[in-house]
Amino acid sequence: MAEIQLAAGTLYPPACYSTEQQRFEAYVAAIVATIIGGIQWEVSETAPTDTSLWWQKIDSNGRPVEYLRWSTADGAWIRPFSEVINSATAAGAANAYTLTNAPVMTAATAYRTGTTFTFKANHTNTGNATLNVDGLGARELRKLGGTSQVAAGEIISGQMLTVVYDGTYFQVISASGLSSNSGQQLITTVGAANFTVPAGVISIKVSLTGAGGGGGFNSASKGGGGGGFCVKTWAVTPGQIIPYVVGAGGARESSYGGGGATNGGNTSFNTTQIGEGGGNGLTTGAAGGFSGADYGINGQRGNFFYTVSTGKGGASAFQGSYGGYTTPADVGQTPEPGRLGGGGCGDQDPTDNDASAGGDGAILIEW
pLDDT of 38 > 70? The answer is no
Residue 102 confidence (pLDDT): 58
Residue 249 confidence (pLDDT): 98
Q: Which ranges of 221-275 does DSSP label H, i.e. alpha helix? A: none
Residue 39 confidence (pLDDT): 63
Residue ranges of domains in the chain: 3-36, 82-177, 181-367
What stretches of 72-197 adopt beta strand conformation (E)? 76-78, 84-89, 91-93, 96-99, 116-120, 130-133, 138-142, 160-165, 170-172, 184-187, 191-196
pLDDT of 211 > 60? The answer is yes
- pLDDT tens digit string along 45-90? 888 888 888 888 888 888 887 778 888 877 888 776 555 565 667 8
Euclidean distance between CA atoms 162 and 24, whole angstroms: 57
Strand order from edge to edge, sheet including 267-269: 191-196, 241-246, 267-269, 273-275, 290-291
Name the pLDDT band for 263 (thresholds 50, 70, 90).
very high
Residue 287 confidence (pLDDT): 95
**Pairing, β 116-120 against β 84-89:** parallel
State what percent of residues in the chain have pLDDT above 70.
Answer: 84
Strand order from edge to edge, sheet including 362-366: 184-187, 362-366, 203-209, 229-235, 295-297
Mean pLDDT of 323-338: 74
DSSP label of 151: P
pTM of the complete model: 0.60
pLDDT of 32 > 70? The answer is no
Residue 174 confidence (pLDDT): 76
Task: Give the helix/strand (H/E) hosting 273.
Answer: strand 273-275
- The β-bridge partners of 57 are 44, 66
Work out the mean pLDDT of the chain and round it to a whole number: 84
